[in-house]
Amino acid sequence: MDASIKHRDSNKTFTFVTPPADSSIETLNEFYWTNEAEPHVQRRKLILEKYPEVRKLTGYEPKTKWYVLLVVLLQLSVSYYLRNTPVLSLKFIGLSYIIGATANQAIFLAIHELSHNLLFKKPLHNKLFAILTNIPIGIPYSASFQPYHQLHHKFMGDEYLDTDLPTKFESIILSNLLGKVFFATCQIFFYALRPMFITQIKFTYIHLLNIIFQILFDNIWVKLFGWKSLIYFIMSSFLAGSLHPCAGHFIAEHYVLNENNTPRTELKNGSNVIPIPAETYSYYGSLNYLTWNVGYHNEHHDFPYIAWTKLPELRRIASEFYDPLPKVNSWCGVLWWFIFNDVNLLWNRVKRQGKEKHGYKIDKVDENQQ
């Protein structure tokens, strides 16, 4: 019998049906299907019960905006410097990879902080500053990222509302060596385009402002310094989400890799029940200094309204909650293991039956939540 969860609201009852763990591979689609709630809400409650002082860590970090402006200015400076450099030259590509991709990854993740309203007190100020921060990315991105990312937090693992999850089509086509190379090389395209095919969000004046401001900036920048200076921004954005050390976090955060994955054909102790693994993984290495501590990912999902500067303190206070969790030791290693270890596939994600499929739709995301 299929496992199910029944939920009742004021108007109707609907049921989420999930395949049982001992179903055939064809039924499971090789994802880790579960009808358990995601772990972060429960762990947050337990931590706050034991350590109420954690509440003092919440809130925005005002000094972050100055660091972000320095990164934006760095990108503008390098773009100006390369304005007359051939695009396919070693100098242009090298600086785009070493400086540009690293800086734009920091910009992507600064927009991530802004999506949680962690740079300014007022949500509108975070949205407007995100549009300014967006400049070196080259295309409008910040306004659409926030609502999709909040759905990722609110409905983690939901097959329709969490657009961080690979689709069944992606997993079928790309779960092989060449497919994984292509996916890891072009991650940025999957994260940019997949949401539009899965879940539609409301177009707001912030989206329009983001588009207008970015187009105006790009046109002015090209008129002043030429197309090569804009190509630097675009190349930096592509490389930031490609085979770059900092891009390892995309896969490291939620993919079930290596020893954390239980191969479907090698279940332990002869059991036909597939255990559900951890679905979020933290990384505590030195690349956190370049990425606003995004590696503290269990901590971030537990407390998305704690700014990057306070996440190490959260881990120190609640160490007994975090130390036992499986973690990632190398983002570079993640890219290598993901591509060349046969057990690591796009299927290796925890999924929950989508609420939208059963008539429960999200009309509005609370963008004011910290």
DSSP symbols for 272-305: -------S--EE-SGGGGGTTTTT-HHHHHH-TT
3-state secondary structure of 361: coil
pLDDT in tens, 203-234: 999 999 999 999 999 999 999 999 999 999 99
Residue 107's nearest CA partner among 83, 79, 80 is 79
**pLDDT of 301 above 90:** yes
Mean pLDDT of 176-181: 96
Tell me the residue type at 205.
Y
Beta-carbon contacts of 155 under 8 Å, excluding residues fewer than 6 positions away, are 161, 162, 352, 355, 362
Q: How far apart are CA 217 and CA 134, in angstroms?
A: 10
Place of tokens 């160490």: 319
Percent of the chain past pLDDT 90, that is, above it, reads 75
Q: How far apart are CA 169 and CA 167, in angstroms?
A: 5
Given a contact cutoff of 8 angstroms between Cβ atoms, the answer to whether 241 and 191 are in contact is yes
pLDDT in tens, 229-264: 999 999 999 999 999 999 999 999 999 999 888 655
In sequence order, the β-bridge partners of residue 16 are 5
3-state secondary structure of 103: helix
The pLDDT value recorded for residue 14 is 34
Residue 82's nearest CA partner among 90, 74, 91, 73 is 91
29 sits in which H/E element: none
The pLDDT value recorded for residue 17 is 45
Given a contact cutoff of 8 angstroms between Cβ atoms, the answer to whether 299 and 323 are in contact is no
Given a contact cutoff of 8 angstroms between Cβ atoms, the answer to whether 188 and 236 are in contact is no
Tell me the residue type at 54.
V
Give the phi and the psi of residue 8 in degrees, each rounded to 5.
Answer: -125, 130
Residue 16's nearest CA partner among 361, 363, 362, 360 is 360
Percent of the chain past pLDDT 70, that is, above it, reads 84
Q: Dmax over Cα atoms in the chain, in whole Å?
A: 68
Polymer length in residues for the chain: 370
Least confident of 27-31, 233-237, 267-271, 316-320: 267-271
Tokens standing for residue 247: 């891009």
The bridge status of strand 3-8 relative to strand 282-283 is: unpaired
32 sits in which H/E element: strand 32-33
Mean per-residue pLDDT of the chain: 87
**pLDDT of 273 above 80:** no
